[in-house]
């Protein structure tokens, strides 16, 4: 399928690894120009990506990224707000409402909600000037499924899903579609890095990291597929959503979770 992305200009945040890296690579393979925003440039990031080293916790960073896209390519057609998860200094998973103070909650919302709001605010005028565009925000199944684990993260993602639908309602008639994808557990460095989620869960349940990834987590989260989601599976969905081939998909939330969510 030709996704009709050749020559389009995209920004991808959190582009250096995991889902963001898969999205960046996929869009470049489809012929798009990609401005990749992340704190550092990893060796895996394609040479064709224009890297902007930014910390999205900095309120000025989103405008800097959008300005670079305009400087390099003269327009902006696609925005993928992928950056999210634990902000610097915070380890996930963590459990218990009383175990997170104000600073933890504020940092979680700053990274997972306010940085996205600022990216959208910076991108919308440029997209309107170019006749429209497509925005995909990476939310989470945690936005739909309250739990005692990662409560602050889930709350921030719930707010992100709401904002996404509301922004689509305002700007969809002007040619800017806004959708979300809600992944379940995805096999990214968030899980696999030393001290990451697999190690934390292993300590919680008295197991080892490999068993957590291959058996404990899929069973605990009741994944129908029996395995964690591959980053490329999320990237493929995002590439389709930002494509003109999804021109009538607006204000939607696409769940890619291995069957984690069971409700209607």
CA distances from 194 to 7, 42, 135, 188 (A): 39, 17, 32, 12
pLDDT at residue 149, as a whole number: 87
SS3 string, 61-115, reads HHHHHHHHHHHHHCCCCEEEECCCCCCCCCCCCCECHHHCCHHHHHHHHHHHHHH
pLDDT at residue 212, as a whole number: 92
pLDDT at residue 166, as a whole number: 98
What is the C-alpha to C-alpha distance for residues 144 and 89, in angstroms, rounded to an integer?
25
pLDDT at residue 263, as a whole number: 84
pLDDT at residue 197, as a whole number: 85
What is the C-alpha to C-alpha distance for residues 192 and 213, in angstroms, rounded to an integer?
8
Q: Are 136 and 179 in contact (CB under 8 A)?
A: yes
pLDDT at residue 53, as a whole number: 98
What is the C-alpha to C-alpha distance for residues 88 and 108, in angstroms, rounded to an integer?
9
Based on the residue annotation, tell me whether 153 is a catalytic residue of this protein. yes
- Domain(s) labelled CATH 3.40.50.720 in the chain stretch across 9-186+230-256
pLDDT at residue 18, as a whole number: 97
Q: Are 139 and 182 in contact (CB under 8 A)?
A: yes
Q: Which of 73, 109, 111, 153 is catalytic?
A: 153
Q: Which residue(s) pair with 138 in the sheet?
A: 181
The second-level CATH assignment, the architecture, of 9-186+230-256 is 3-Layer(aba) Sandwich (3.40)
* Three-state secondary structure call for residue 134: strand
Per-residue pLDDT of the chain (264 residues), as tens digits, is 899 999 999 999 999 999 999 999 999 999 999 999 999 999 999 999 999 999 999 999 999 999 999 999 999 999 999 999 999 888 888 889 999 999 999 999 999 999 999 999 999 999 999 999 999 999 999 999 999 989 999 999 999 999 999 999 999 999 999 999 999 999 998 888 888 889 888 888 899 989 999 999 999 899 999 999 999 999 999 999 999 999 999 999 999 999 999 987
What is the C-alpha to C-alpha distance for residues 136 and 180, in angstroms, rounded to an integer?
5
Q: Which residue(s) pair with 177 in the sheet?
A: 134
């Amino acid at each position: 399928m030709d996704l009709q992305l050749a020559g389009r200009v995209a920004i991808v945040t959190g582009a250096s690894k995991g889902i963001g890296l898969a999205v960046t690579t996929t869009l470049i393979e489809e012929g798009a120009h990609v401005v990749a925003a992340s704190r550092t440039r990893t060796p895996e990031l394609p040479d064709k990506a224009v890297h902007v080293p930014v910390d999205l916790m900095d309120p000025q960073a989103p405008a800097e990224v959008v300005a670079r896209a305009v400087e390099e390519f003269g327009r902006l057609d696609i925005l993928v707000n992928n950056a999210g998860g634990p902000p610097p200094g915070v380890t996930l998973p963590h459990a218990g409402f009383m175990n997170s103070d104000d600073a933890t909650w504020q940092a979680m919302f700053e990274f997972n909600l306010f940085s996205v709001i600022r990216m959208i605010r910076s991108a919308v005028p440029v997209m309107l000037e170019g006749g429209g565009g497509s925005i995909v925000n990476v939310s989470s199944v945690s936005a739909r499924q309250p739990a005692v684990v990662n409560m602050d993260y889930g709350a921030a993602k719930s707010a992100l899903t709401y904002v996404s639908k509301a922004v689509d309602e305002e700007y969809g008639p002007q040619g800017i579609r806004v959708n979300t994808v809600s992944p379940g557990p995805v096999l990214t460095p968030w899980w696999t890095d030393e001290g990451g989620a697999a190690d934390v869960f292993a300590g919680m349940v008295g197991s080892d990291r490999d068993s957590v990834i291959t058996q404990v987590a899929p069973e605990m989260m009741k994944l129908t597929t029996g395995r964690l989601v591959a980053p490329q599976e999320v990237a493929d969905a995002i590439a389709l959503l930002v494509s003109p081939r999804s021109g009538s998909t607006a204000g939607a939330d696409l769940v890619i979770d291995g069957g984690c969510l069971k409700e209607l």
